[in-house]
Structure formats: structure tokens, C-alpha cells
Chains A and B, each alone.
Chain A
Amino acid sequence: MHKKNITIALAGNPNSGKTTIFNNITGTRQKVGNWPGVTVEKKEGSVSKYGHDLKIIDLPGTYSLTPFSIEEIVARDFVIEESPDVVIDIIDASNLERSLYLATQLRELDCKVLFALNMADVATSRGTKIDANKLSELLDVPVVFTIGNKNTGIDSLLKAAIKLAESKSKISQKRKVKYSNDIENSISKLQSFIEERIEQNLPYNIRWTTIKLLENDKIVREHIRQKTGNKSLEIFREVGTHRKHLLDRFDEDPEIVMTDERYGFIAGIIKEVVTKSTKRRVDTSRNVDLVLTNRFVGFPIFILFIWIMFQTTFAVGSYPMEWIDSGVNWLAAILEPSLPDSLFKDLLLNGIIAGVGSVIIFLPNILILFLFIAIFEDTGYMARAAFLMDKIMHLIGLHGKSFIPMLMGFGCSVPAIMATRTLESNKDRILTILITPFMSCSAKLPIYILLAGTFFSAKAGTVIFLIYITGIILSIITGRLFRSTLFKGADAPFVMELPPYRVPMIKSLIIHMWDRSKMFLKKMGGIILVGSVIVWMLTAFPRHINYSMDYNEEINNINASFTEKQKKAAITKLKLAEKAEKTEKSFMGRIGKTIAPVFAPIGIDWRGSVALLTGFVAKEIVVSTFGILYAAEETDEPDALKNALLSSEMTSLSALSLMIFVLLYLPCVATIATIRRETGSLKWTLFSIVYSTSIAWAAAFCIYQGGKILGLT
């Protein structure tokens, strides 16, 4: 049988159960991508049913089609530009009035709409009965009952969608919102005015376009400007006259009057389709909110949850981390003897396996972190967390929602920056992305432990804590600074629905967690791989180095006089010296020496410079680079590196300066790639790199030179 393609878009309010229905239809056959041009997540799934290939698109959850946020713009543009065969509007039965507001707007758009009356069971339990037939009749739209979380009604929904897509009948023009006389007059006058002035047809319904122009919709205005060229001025003047007229008539902006009238229309429908019993059930969510958002206990509870999240992420995550680590080591150990010595072997072992291995061990952490975030999101707690943090985030000039990415930044900047997608305003999102790298990520911790442990032994804990605090303070300063310069402008009004608490569905949790982790593995794996190979090449080449002495001969010379133990020690020492010299004379070493003058004022020598450079690939590498450069194998003797550092020219002051630099300087390749992807702008990516590095240098300079003046060396 010939299969036909049908595109179905799912629209609906946030928390209307849209995503659950989407998951139920498509299962794991989902593709997560971005909407073109913006970083709003685009979810697509395909399924073959009833002899049709169905392509399901999950539109972002919106309250209206008035373009306030990117989500609303994306949803509307998809419906008008791509004209899907059917739009299924998921109507939250327990929130009928508000859901119908979006529904009436969809009806005005002149597309094939189908209503899924979702969660009617919840509504019934709250004492609301909805007459679906009446609703269908009144709006002239097919209505199907569904219960998303019980997976009922999905099949009949799809059948109805296919039937609607196949039907040839024209979209009914009846049963749309009729406005009051004054507005209808303006609409029809303006409509004919526009029709007289444009030769070619407008791509969208003319009545809708007229209504949007009266509502002063910026995007539709822009469309008209492009379509009508120099006639647009004339049209806009006419629109202005009508808007003025309506403003005088109603003493309100026309968009407000029209919204009110739409609600009036909805009220009429609700009166006919809803029967309410007077019984009032206890609203559990409301009672939970009395506690969880409470002005006194809400915050401590929140801190507790966050503590549990981090504790679990790092404590529980450390076990699988070890397994993966030993797995990587095991792989290296197997390959080591079985491969002949060659450049390829070196690349494979020291480049690819070491590099990718050092990053893949974070997979358990990321999985757990995302599991927690998925739980927070699916239970509805995330919105409360954003509420609780709002007053603190206001210090930075951001909303509470920005807190979640920043918090995740303590774990790893990559998922943190990915989490900025939940932010509505693009300004807020970029600002959050810019300050998130200042939240010291977990990969930087080994560096602090090494340096603080070596130079501040007893006070190491305090020093590390202060470094974290420095990061937080600088992020606040940066936030405030950028807010008042680069990201000026009024805050978007902060209003957010707190969804009812729900028990999360396992399926949805797993899909959620897997989506993110897959992205981490796929994208970051590639970058890490390339980065690791580059670092390896820089340290491995040139192959032939003029050593200051012939190490092999020296080793042979030792053999004669020493005892076995002394001999072994001496050999190790020479081998390490060889390795150190090799690194010093490799491209990496040469680069380090070239850039060393830049780091001299902040008390960092060429070895430190090289280490910092390699940290660009992944911050963990900084420690291992130190190991190589200071000619000590950390694995053999735990304190060897410490002793080597202590006996070097490094002082506690330069160590502090180095740590501050590490805290603030440019993020790792993976983070930069994520910033590039999420901001969608090379400009902001470069800005982030330059800004963080200059701040790092300036801060380290102040500490080092200030300390020197105070005589702290």
C-alpha cells in the first residue's frame, strides 16, 4: 500500500501534558535538534501507523501565539510557514479557559486543528465535567479525549488526525471569535484597504494579518514591510489611524480589548460545555507549595535538595567513574604490549585513549546530574527553585531561572551551558552563558588540590573555598557589569507558572536523561578526540630532538658501580629527565617558552604556561602536564610531584596566582564548542574567551604583584 506522509504539529500550553503525549506517540524514536536560527529545542519523531508515515513535531509549549518569547515565535512561524497537515492542540481540561485562549488563536490562523482534551480525569476529580460534543460543535473542531499519563486515547487521536488531514473539505470559517462592532469595522475597513494595495496574495490569511496589525504585532508588521515594499508606509499609517481610533473608543490598547473579547467569547463557550459541581477537593499541590515556597523554610529545603544532588552526583558517581577509569587503563594495558612500537601506537595510547578516556569518565556524573535535573523538572520542583533563587539572582540582573545553569556549572560547564535553553529571553541566556564558566567546574578541582595542598598544606581547604567564592563574586560583578552595559533594557516581566506537582514517569525521565547525555557523548566526544590528538602531536613532535646528553649512554654507564636499588632509582631519574627535556624541546615546549613572557608578570614560568595551554583541551590535563614537565610520575610516588614543585622556583604566591588564573581563564574546548553552539554566534564565543582570559590575567596580576609589594613571597 502506498504510504502517505502526514505532518502533525503538537501545540499546547506548557504543562498541558503535551510532551507526555509526544513521548507516548513516538517513544524513543525522537530527534532532538534546534529550530533553525534559534536555540529552542526542536523535537521531532516519526511513526508509521494506519498506513501512513506520521511526522510528529512537538511545538514549544506556549500560552498564546502573541510573540513574547522565542518559543511563541517558533511555534507560530512553524504553523504559518510550514503549514503542517494537522495541528493537534492539547487542551488541558483542568485549565480549559486558558487552553481555549490558545485554541481560538489557532482557529484564527486558519489551519486544520484538532483538539485533544487531555487530563479530563483530573478535571472530573476537581468537579468539572466537560461536554466534548458540545465543544466540538461550538468551535467546529473535532475533539478527542486523551489521558496522556495513562496512554489512553492516543490511537483515536492519531486516527482523527489522519482523517482530518485526508479530508478535502475547506476549513470552516464559522465559529471564530467575533469581535465587537467597532473592532469588526476596523478589521473589515483595514482588510479592504490592504487588499487594494497589494498585488500578490499574502501568504497568510488576510483577516488574521489584519487583526495582527491592529494588535501591533511586530513580526507581522515586518512581514508586511517585506511583502509590500514602499506601500507598507501607507498601510502602517492606516493601521495607526485605526489603532488610534480604537484607543480613543475603548481607552485601552486594541490588543488588550481584543484579548478581553476573546476571553468573553471563551466564557460563552465554557458556560455551555462545562458543568461544575460545587464540591471542592483539597488541592495537594497548593499545600505542598505552602511549605516548599515558604518564605522561611523554602530556601533551606532547596539547599538540602541541591546538596543531595551534588552529593549523589559525585559520591555515587565516583564508583562507575573508577570502573570506567580502570576500563580505560585495562584497554591501554592490553594494547601496550600487543602493538609494536610506532607513531600510531603512541597516538592511540597517549593521544586518543588518554584524551578521550579522561573525559568519558565524567559520563556517570553527567548521567546522574541530568537524572536529578530531569526529576526536578518532571516533578515540577524546578519552577519552585527558580522562584526561590529569583531574589538572589536579581543581584546579577537575572531571573531565578538562570540559577539552574550556574549551579550545574560547578559540575561541568558543558551541560550547564546546555541548560540555559530553558531561559526565555535571549539576552538572559547569553549573559548566563558568559558568567557560567566562572563557576569553578569539577575538572579544576584536582589542580587546586595539587597546588593548594603543596603550598598551603594546612590551610588548603580554606584556600580552595576562597577560590570558589572568588569565582562566584566575579560572576556577580560580571553579571551586573554586562547587565548595565551590553545587555541593557528592561527585564522581561517575570511571571512563571508553577505546575502542579506530579510523580515523574520513568519513561520520560529516561528519555530526558538520555537526550542530554547522548548530546554530550556525541558532540563532545568528537571535540575531545580532535583536541587530544592535537595536544599529543604538539608534545610528540618533532620526533628527533638534539638532547643535551645521550640518555641511553648515561643509563648504560650507571650500570657498573651501583647497587640494584640505587641503579633503578638512577635510571628512573634519567628517564624522567629525558622525558622532561623531550617535552621542553617539543613544539609544546617551544610554544610554552614563546608565550612565557606573557605569563611572567603573573609569576608563571614556561612550565606553567604549557600546563595552562594544555588545560585548554580539558582542565584535568593541567595536572598531568605538570607531572610530565616537573619530571615526576604521580602514579609511582604520590608526593614526588609535590616535592618537585616545592623545590622549583614556584612560590606560594605564584601558586595562588596560577590557581586564580585557572579559575577564570578561557574554558576548555568542549565548553567553547558548547558556547558556540548555544549562542549561535562566533562573536559571543570569542568575546567569552577574550573576556575570561583578560579577567584571569588581570586578577592573577593583582594577586601576584600585590603580594610581592606586600612582601608575601
Chain B
Amino acid sequence: MKQVHNQEKEQFKKLFKQENISDFEDRFKVLEVFLQTEHHLTVNEIIQLLKENGYELDPDFVRETLKLICRFGFAQKTRFNSGPVRYEHRHLCQHHDHMICTKCKKIIEFQNEKIENLQTQVSRAYGFHMLQHKLEIYGICSECLKDHLKLMPLVMAKQSERLIIKDFTGGSTARMRLLSMGLRIGDEIDVITNSGLGQMVIALDCNRYAIGHGLAQKIIVQTIS
């Protein structure tokens, strides 16, 4: 955490110097104190906190500084239940990027120096001042992927494989037809023949069914090991 705050301080310094903002040292103290706490603070609480740290600053100055800090994106204002305005950190560089599994909704956090640097470079090249960024990668996590690979359309099944019907895709007519013939989700089936072109013979208990290519693509199965 300290590390991160140091980075923010560096940025702050750079920005304020660029903007030729006066009283940098005092303003920096405000920032330092603000960053040290992880709470949501009102202006008065920050003044109080500054006092505790031995900095006597004019409340208006503090208020103005906080506005500046907000303007540069280091903090933001919030109001909880119409209470007083409080300031909270906007964690900029401390952020991590996210990978979000669309299937199980799991979120994986990651950090990659190369990406971070690249972003800075790109921003610079556009003359863009980067305050923060957000990177979310959507996809399927390794565990779901493992399950997903086991699921396949029936056409892909090999002869004498034992499978469990997991799902039907396609319209309700085809599905109703399979249902009324006794093929249902959860049934265990054996592949008797796969002609290679999609026509298949499958066995369910003591019944056997011939299934055409189109339909075999719509039956989603999982192998039983």
C-alpha cells in the first residue's frame, strides 16, 4: 500500500508542478494525510487529522486542495444517506486488471507490468494524460473450459462411446419430438454407429434410435469416463 501511495505522490508532484500550482508543499501534506487513511473523510475530519499530524492549515485551503485532488482524479466525493460530503480515495495505480468468467462469473485479478507500461506509452504518444484505466477481459475460466470441452454435440461422439445427454439446442419442435420418443436430458446413451457423415445409431437402455445429421448436432452430450 505504501508503495502505491508513493507512486501517487510522484504523480501528484508532477501534475501540480506542471500546472504551476502554488503552495505545493502544503498541498502535498494534505494529500499525504488523506492517503494515509483508508476511511471516507469529511473536510473537517481531514483538518482534524492534519492537526494531529502537526499541520495547521486554513480550512478553506484544505477544501480547495481537496477539490484540486478530486479534479486530478485522486479522490472523489460521495454522500452516504444524504449525510455530509466525504472524500475517498480513487485507487489509481493500485488497481489490478480483471478477467471475468462469463460462465461461472468468477473474477480473476492480475497485474502485468508490460501492459501498464504499454498504456503509459500509448497515452504519451497521443499526448494524453492518463489518470486511470480499467481493463476487463471477459471469457471462460480454466475450470469451466475443462467442463466445456467435455460437452460436445452428439455428431462428434465416437463409436461405442458412453455419453450423457446434457442439453438440446434448436427449436422446441425437434426437442419435443425427442422427448416424446423417450430421449431426455440426463439419459445415458451408447453410440452404436457413427457413419462419419452425421447419421448415427444410439442406444438408450434396450432401445435404439437412428438420428440424422441435423438433429445429432443439436444434442449436446458429455462423455462418461
Of the listed residues A68, A263, A286, A298, the one surrounded by the most CB atoms of chain B closer than 10 A to its CB is: A286
Interface residues contributed by chain A, number (CB under 8 Å): 43
Known: A98-B181, A289-B201. A66 touches B209 (CB 8 A): no
A391/B195 in contact, CB under 8 A: yes
Q: Are A256 and B179 interface neighbours, CB within 8 A?
A: yes
B172/A255 in contact, CB under 8 A: yes
What are the interface flags for A384-411 relative to B under an 8 Å C-beta threshold, 1 for contact and 0 otherwise? 1011001100100001100000000000
Q: Are A101 and B182 in contact (CB-based, < 8 A)? A: yes
Instruction: Tell me the bound Cα distance from A263 to B175 in angstroms.
Output: 14
Task: Indicate if B78 sits at the interface (CB-CB under 8 A).
Answer: no
Cβ of A165 to closest chain B Cβ, rounded Å: 28
A259 in the interface (beta carbon within 8 A): yes
A290 cross-chain contacts in B, Cβ below 8 A: 192-193
Say whether B149 faces chain A, with CB atoms less than 8 Å apart. no
Given contacts A387-B199, A391-B199, A500-B206, contact A259 B176 (CB under 8 A): yes
Question: Are A66 and B180 in contact (CB-based, < 8 A)?
Answer: yes
| CB pair A496 B209 closer than 8 Å | yes
Q: Which of B8-16, B115-123, B140-148, B211-219 contacts A (4 or more CB under 8 A)?
A: B211-219
Q: Would A390 and B176 count as touching, CB distance under 8 A? A: no
Interface centre among B172, B178, B199, B210 (most CB of A within 10 A): B210
A229 contacts which chain B residues (CB < 8 A)?
none
Contact of B206 with A283 in the complex, beta carbons under 8 Å: yes
Nearest Cβ on chain A to B163's Cβ, whole angstroms = 16
Q: Hey, which chain A residues are within 8 Å of B207, CB to CB?
A: 95, 98, 497-498
Check A259–B180 contact: CB distance below 8 A.
yes
Tell me if A64 counts as interface (CB < 8 A to partner B).
Answer: yes
Assess the A293–B176 pair: CB atoms within 8 A: no
B192, A293: Cβ atoms under 8 Å?
Answer: yes
CB distance from B176 to the nearest CB of A (A): 6
Q: Does A346 contact B (CB under 8 A)?
A: no
How many B residues touch A, CB cutoff 8 Å? Answer: 35
Contact between chains at B180 and A63 (CB < 8 Å): yes
Q: How far is the CB of A318 from chain B (nearest CB, A)?
A: 36
A126 at the interface (CB under 8 A from B): yes
Instruction: Select the residue from A263, A386, A494, A500 with max chain B CB neighbours within 10 A.
Output: A494
Residues of A within 8 A of B184 (CB): 260, 263
Within 8 A of A (CB), among B147-180: 159, 172-180
Question: Across the interface, do B193 and A293 meet the contact criterion of CB distance under 8 Å?
Answer: yes
User: Closest chain A residue to B210 by CB distance?
Assistant: A387
> CB-CB contacts of A457-501 with B at 8 A, as 1s and 0s?
000000000000000000000000000000000010111111010
Query: In the complex, A289→B207 CA distance in Å?
Result: 11
Interface readout for B75-117 with A: 1 if CB under 8 Å, 0 if not?
0000000000000000000000000000000000000000000
A237 located at the interface, meaning its Cβ lies under 8 Å from any Cβ of chain B in the complex: no
Cβ contacts under 8 Å, B180 to chain A: 63-64, 66, 68, 98, 101-102, 259
B208 within 8 A of A: yes
Q: Which residues of A contact B224 (CB under 8 A)?
A: none
A126–B205 Cα distance when bound, in Å, is: 10
A285 within 8 A of B: yes
CA distance A497 to B201 in the complex (A): 9
Task: List A625-673 residues whose CB lies under 8 Å from chain B.
Answer: none
Is B197 among interface residues, defined by CB-CB distance under 8 A? yes
Report A-chain residues with C-beta under 8 Å of the C-beta of B211.
494-496
Smallest CB–CB gap between A143 and chain B, Å?
20
B43 within 8 A of A: no
B178 contact set on A, CB distance < 8 A: 493, 495
Residues of B within 8 Å of A289, CB to CB, are 192-193, 201, 203, 208
The count of A-to-B residue pairs whose CB atoms sit within 8 angstroms is 121
A321 located at the interface, meaning its Cβ lies under 8 Å from any Cβ of chain B in the complex: no
Contact between A286 and B192 (Cβ–Cβ < 8 Å)?
yes
B194 within 8 A of A: yes
Closest A residue to B174 by CB, please name it.
A493
In whole Å, how far is B7's beta carbon from the nearest beta carbon of chain A? 47
Min C-beta distance of B168 to chain A, whole Å: 9
Select the residue from B173, B194, B207 with max chain A CB neighbours within 10 A: B207
CB-CB nearest in chain A for B181: A63
Q: How far is the CB of A262 from chain B (nearest CB, A)?
A: 9
Residue of A nearest to B178 (CB): A495
Q: Report the bound CA distance from A285 to B208 in whole Å.
A: 9
Kindly list chain B residues whose C-beta atoms are within 8 Å of the C-beta of A494. Answer: 210-215
A289-B192, A289-B193, A391-B197 are contacts. A498–B209 as well, Cβ < 8 Å?
Answer: yes
A295 contacts which chain B residues (CB < 8 A)? 159, 193-196
A66 to B193, CA, bound (A): 29
Q: Which residues of B contact A188 (CB under 8 A)?
A: none
Q: A94-B206, A387-B199, A387-B210 are in contact. Are A495 and B176 (CB under 8 A)?
A: no
For residue A95, which residues in chain B have a CB less than 8 angstroms away from its CB?
A: 182, 206-207
Q: Does A383 contact B (CB under 8 A)?
A: yes
Shortest distance in angstroms between B200's beta carbon and chain A's nearest beta carbon?
A: 9
Query: Nearest chain A CB to B137's CB is how many angstroms away?
Result: 27
Known: A286-B192, A387-B201, A391-B195. A493 touches B212 (CB 8 A): yes
Q: Are B208 and A498 in contact (CB under 8 A)?
A: yes
A500 (CB) vs chain B CBs: closest residue: B206
**Contact of A253 with B by CB under 8 A:** yes
Does B177 contact A493, Cβ atoms closer than 8 Å? yes
B193 partner residues in chain A, CB cutoff 8 A? 289-290, 293-295, 298
Q: How far apart sit A95 and B183, CA to CA, in the bound complex (Å)?
A: 12
Check: A578 CB closer than 8 A to any chain B CB: no
Closest chain B CB from A463 CB (angstroms): 33
- Give the chain B neighbours of A400 by CB distance below 8 A: 199, 210
Question: A126 contacts which chain B residues (CB < 8 A)?
Answer: 206
Scoring A residues 75 to 112 as 1 if CB is less than 8 Å from chain B, else 0, what string do you get?
A: 00000000000000000001101100110000000000
Say whether A390 contacts B199, CB under 8 Å.
Answer: yes
Shortest C-beta distance, B164 to chain A (Å), equals 16
- Say yes or no: A68 contacts B173, CB within 8 Å: yes
Closest 7 CB pairs of A and B: A494-B212, A64-B180, A98-B182, A387-B210, A498-B208, A253-B172, A493-B174
29 of the cross-chain contacts (CB-CB < 8 Å) are A64-B176, A68-B180, A97-B182, A98-B180, A98-B207, A256-B172, A256-B176, A260-B184, A263-B179, A283-B203, A286-B192, A286-B208, A289-B203, A293-B193, A295-B194, A295-B195, A295-B196, A384-B210, A390-B210, A391-B195, A391-B197, A493-B178, A494-B211, A494-B215, A495-B177, A495-B209, A495-B211, A495-B212, A495-B215
Other contacts beyond A294-B193, A390-B199: 13, CB < 8 A: A66-B176, A260-B179, A263-B184, A286-B208, A289-B201, A289-B203, A383-B210, A387-B199, A391-B198, A400-B199, A493-B173, A493-B178, A494-B210
By a beta-carbon cutoff of 8 Å, the part of chain B in contact with chain A is 159, 172-184, 192-199, 201, 203, 206-215, 218
